[in-house]
Structure 1
Amino acid sequence: MRHAKAEQDGPTDFERPLADRGRRDAVEAGSWLSAQGVEPAHALVSAALRTQQTWEAVASGAGWSLAPDLDRGLYAAGPETALDLVRLVPDAVTSLVVIGHNPTVGVLAQVLDDGSGDAAVAASMAGDFPTCAVAVFSYDGAWADLGEGTARLEAFHVGRA
């Protein structure tokens, strides 16, 4: 998932908060995820303020009480580094939510897709990966083995309130 709409300014880019619209959109995305039956066992979230606030709003909308694993490295990570962070998730974790930044999460979603899912869903994700975009994948394997073209794209949604 890409973080929701943030304010243009903050003390630093890392400290930019969500805009009011972003909070509403993230709550809607959480409601949508809950309706899809997504129940994460782990949340890997960039430590930037806007991603933390996105997680809080998504979790609120979904009714989740899971504490996130805040990772400062995910803030500046490129797609390969973000994938490396996911590969470190313990295999006991059966469902994972990742909230990060673009272009990293958009590129990562594209490269993980094995192409076996609904072509219309893949087409909706192609190109732009806007704020509050959520790609839902299924994957049956060890996190350490996750790689290009190894996960099935099940759904794509852009949270908008």
Structure 2
Amino acid sequence: MRHAKAEQGGRTDFERELTDRGRADAAEAGAWLAGRGFAPQHALVSAAARTRATWEALAAGGGWELEPDYDRGLYVAEPATAVDLIGLVDDDVRTLVVIGHNPTMAYLAQLLGDGEGDPELESQLLAGFPTSATAVFEYDGAWSDLAEGSARLVGYHVGRG
């Protein structure tokens, strides 16, 4: 997931907060995920203020009580680094949510897909990855083996509250 709509300015980019719309959009995305039966067992979230706030609103919208793993490295991660961070997740975790920043999250979503997902979803994903965009993948393997083209896109949604 890409973080929700954030303020244009802040003391630093890392400290930018969500707008009211961003909080509403993230909560709506959480409700959408929960409505599809998605309940994360682990949350890997960039440590930036806007991604932390996105997680809080997403979790509230989904009705999840889960302590996230805030990772400062995800803030500046390239797609390959994001895959490496995901690879460190315990294999007992079957459902994972990752919240980060563009362009990394858009590239990551495009790289992970095996191209065998629903063509309409694939088309929507390729058309853009705006704030609050959420791509849902199925993956059957060890997180450490996650690689390009190894997951199937089964959902795509842009939260708009």
The superposition leaves residues 7-58 of structure 1 with CA deviations (integer Å, 9 ceiling, x where unpaired) of 0011100000001100000010000000011110100000000000000000
- The secondary structure found in structure 2 opposite 1:126 is helix
The superposition leaves residues 51-106 of structure 1 with CA deviations (integer Å, 9 ceiling, x where unpaired) of 00000000000000001000000000010001100011010111100000000000
Aligned length in residues: 161
Determine whether 1:78 maps to 2:92: no
Distance in 2 of aligned mates of 1:87 and 1:50: 24
Determine whether 1:142 maps to 2:142: yes
TM (norm. structure 2) is 0.99
1:131 matched residue in structure 2: 131
Distance in 1 of aligned mates of 2:118 and 2:33: 18
Q: Structure 1 residue 127: deviation in Å? A: 3.4
Q: Which amino acid aligns with 2:15?
A: E
2:26 matched residue in structure 1: 26
Distance in 2 of aligned mates of 1:5 and 1:146: 29
Q: Structure 1 residue 116: deviation in Å? A: 1.2
2:3 matched residue in structure 1: 3
Distance in 1 of aligned mates of 2:87 and 2:77: 14
The superposition leaves residues 111-131 of structure 1 with CA deviations (integer Å, 9 ceiling, x where unpaired) of 000011111110000032100
Equivalent residues in 2 for 1:35-114, closer than 5 Å: 35-114=35-114
Q: Which amino acid aligns with 2:156?
A: F
- The secondary structure found in structure 2 opposite 1:107 is helix
Q: Structure 1: which 5+ residue stretches go unaligned?
A: none
Distance in 2 of aligned mates of 1:40 and 1:63: 11
Q: Which amino acid aligns with 1:110?
A: Q
- The secondary structure found in structure 2 opposite 1:155 is strand
Distance in 2 of aligned mates of 1:78 and 1:126: 18
- The secondary structure found in structure 1 opposite 2:97 is strand
1:117 matched residue in structure 2: 117
Q: Which amino acid aligns with 1:82?
A: A
- Percent sequence identity is 64
- The secondary structure found in structure 1 opposite 2:70 is strand
Greater shift, 53-62 or 119-128, is seen at 119-128
Q: Structure 2: which 5+ residue stretches go unaligned?
A: none
- The secondary structure found in structure 1 opposite 2:122 is helix
